[in-house]
Chain A
Amino acid sequence: MKTWIAFWNILKKDIQNYYLKPPNISWGIIFPLSWTLMQLIRSSGGMNLSDIRALLPGLMAMSVLFGTTSMLAVTITFERKGRSFDRLLLAPISLSTMVAAKLSGAILFGLFNAFVPVIFASFFIDLAVISWGVVLLAVFLIAVTSTLLGLLIAVSAKEVFEAQTFSNFFRFPMLFLCGLFLPVSSLPVFLRPISYLLPLTYGTDLLGGAILGVGTLPPVLCVLILLVFAIVLFTFCQYNIRRKWIL
């Protein structure tokens, strides 16, 4: 019970202090929106409704990626810099509970971001044929793995600007490597192995399968691989936190 109170309050504080702040919310909305417009304008001027559907998986994955990675990395680095993070390290709750609480805020924010493009798309296309259960699972797993990537960055960064730079360093290449807007199969052969080392590739594939029916890998395999990524990243981050944050 005590652990749960602490967990919930850490989560609530992060949501109120960071995720619900206007700049972050607008970032979550404006970025996917402008990307959508760009794609639509590029696609030969005419609004083609099937284009919107085709864009949706990539847009959702991108929104989650951008909503989670840098947010967590920046907020943690910020709290570490101001030393308020010490309070969390000193709280009588296990390190993994504390880290899970920090992760949850970013994951929820990622989920919220993912559905921004869905809401826009719903004005134009019929979304009833999509298997929402799989979509939700895919979005959740993308959010978890991207958030953990953010944590990995937070563990390595000392300054807030470092956290920001590191996250961009990771996520911009991922836009192109993970099949968000270009199929992995269209990438040069030597880049493809890198694609398959990134969790986002599997998440996007899962989403593509659920929304467009064009998944290239079996969904169950994608889910399993994403889970393995999540566990490995979480364990690795915890090991690093113990080593680096408790001097």
Chain B
Amino acid sequence: MSTTGIVSVTNLSKCYGNFTAVNGISFSIRRGEIFGFLGPNGAGKTTTINMMIGLARPSGGSVEIDGIDAVKNVKKAQSIMGIVPDESNLYDEMDGFDNLCFCGSLYGMRKAEREQRAKALLSQFDLAKAGKRPFKAYSKGMRRKLTIAAGIIHRPEILFLDEPTTGIDVESARQIRHLLLELKQRGTTIFITTHYIEDAERICDRIAFIAGGNIVANGTVSELMQSVSHGYAIRLTANQNLEPLAGDLQQHFDGCTVKVDTNHEVTLLCEERIPLSPVLQYLDGKGISVFEAKEIRPTLEDVFVNITGIEAEKLKKEKEKGGVAK
């Protein structure tokens, strides 16, 4: 573990009967980073988080948080944690403001302090007007936001979020990402599980992929990208059918592969990075106007698909399912 590590998970496993939900995983989280935990439904994300926060007892392995053995000394570890569970589980009968204040009080915040903080959070999350409404009258997105607010009211050093953006609209998801980056800037360490690869790509410093209870890849976003690097590619969009030119292009740019995508689009693939201007000049010389030329990089999704062998389609379906169901 590096000296700046705040979490270190070693050989952590969880069995339910003879079913292994988490199979001896190890990883560490550095202080102040956003660590993404990605995987499809049933991969073991929630089980892992629950073991880290003390809601589930590991069948084996250890969790150390800020030097505290989080399995043996749960309560001490919990005092520096903030937790946003996958379900919005505040008190239905209580209003938003009281809910936040109550959560603050559980961490020993005094009345004046927690009330002030609750007010600030309500307005930060655009919930100021809903502060006096009971939680049960909140919409799904509002519930989600209040649950996140409840998780950070006591300014935790490390924040655990289980699928914070599942089932909410694009704008709210953007707000949440923004908030997480802000928290990070203030030094909060963040552990986030998600099956939205785009989310992870946008905000995470490091990512671990989990599938079937095993960590199948683990690294910074760029490290993971490199692992699937399939050379470089440029996609061109022109004013006319490029198909007849494909052979010429390939001949002219030795070592490149030309792939015709649609009538007006081709992709040039090459081992090395391709400079744009010769390509554009060449096409210009043929009387073709190019409207768009774009370098294509592998996405995290490519990495994920590559490593886990799970097709993108299946993943998409799960996302949609998750979005509707939760």
Residues of A within 8 A of B (CB): 1-3, 5-6, 8-10, 13, 17, 82-84, 86-94, 246-247
User: Is B220 an interface position by the 8 A CB rule?
Assistant: no
Give 10 closest A-B pairs by Cβ, nearest first.
Answer: A2-B108, A9-B105, A92-B79, A83-B89, A91-B106, A92-B78, A5-B108, A84-B89, A6-B106, A247-B56
Q: Is the CB of A247 within 8 A of B108?
A: no
Q: Is the CB of B105 within 8 A of A5?
A: yes
Q: Is the CB of A93 within 8 A of B56?
A: no
Which residues of B are found within 8 Å of A87, using beta-carbon distances? 89-90, 103, 106
Given A2-B108, A9-B102, decide whether A90 and B53 contact each other with a Cβ distance below 8 A: yes
Which residues of A are found within 8 Å of B54, using beta-carbon distances? 89-90, 246
Which residues of A are found within 8 Å of B140, using beta-carbon distances? none
Given A83-B85, A92-B76, decide whether A9 and B106 contact each other with a Cβ distance below 8 A: yes
Which residues of A are found within 8 Å of B106, using beta-carbon distances? 6, 9-10, 87-88, 91-93
Q: Is the CB of B94 within 8 A of A90?
A: no
* B85, B106, B108, B109: most-surrounded residue (chain A CB, <10 A): B106
Which residues of B are found within 8 Å of A86, using beta-carbon distances? 55, 85, 89
* Cα-based distance from A177 to B53 in the complex (angstroms): 45
Q: Is the CB of A247 within 8 A of B55?
A: yes
* Cα-based distance from A88 to B87 in the complex (angstroms): 15
CB nearest neighbor in A for B50: A247
Which of B53, B75, B81, B102 interacts with A13 by CB under 8 Å?
Answer: B102
User: Is B169 an interface position by the 8 A CB rule?
Assistant: no
User: Is B91 an interface position by the 8 A CB rule?
Assistant: yes
**Complex A-B: 20 CB contacts under 8 Å:** A6-B105, A9-B105, A13-B94, A17-B93, A82-B89, A82-B92, A83-B85, A84-B89, A86-B85, A87-B90, A88-B106, A89-B54, A91-B78, A92-B78, A92-B106, A93-B75, A246-B54, A246-B55, A246-B57, A247-B55
Shortest B106–chain A CB gap in Å is 4
* Cα-based distance from A84 to B105 in the complex (angstroms): 15
Shortest B234–chain A CB gap in Å is 50
Residues of B within 8 A of A (CB): 50, 53-57, 75-76, 78-79, 81, 83, 85, 87, 89-94, 102-103, 105-110
Q: Is the CB of A5 within 8 A of B89?
A: no
CB nearest neighbor in A for B82: A90
Q: Is the CB of A90 within 8 A of B90?
A: no
Which residues of B are found within 8 Å of A88, using beta-carbon distances? 106
CB nearest neighbor in A for B86: A83
- Given A5-B108, A84-B91, A90-B55, output 5 extra A-B contacts at Cβ < 8 Å: A2-B108, A10-B106, A90-B78, A92-B78, A246-B54
* Cα-based distance from A13 to B50 in the complex (angstroms): 25
Which residues of A are found within 8 Å of B83, using beta-carbon distances? 90
* Cα-based distance from A145 to B83 in the complex (angstroms): 34
* Cα-based distance from A201 to B79 in the complex (angstroms): 43
Which of A3, A10, A94 interacts with B108 by CB under 8 Å?
Answer: A3
CB nearest neighbor in B for A3: B108
CB nearest neighbor in A for B106: A91
Q: Is the CB of A94 within 8 A of B75?
A: yes
CB nearest neighbor in A for B108: A2
* B53, B75, B103: most-surrounded residue (chain A CB, <10 A): B75
CB nearest neighbor in B for A18: B93
Shortest B95–chain A CB gap in Å is 12
* Cα-based distance from A205 to B107 in the complex (angstroms): 43
Shortest A233–chain B CB gap in Å is 23
CB nearest neighbor in B for A4: B108
Q: Is the CB of B89 within 8 A of A6?
A: no
CB nearest neighbor in A for B76: A92
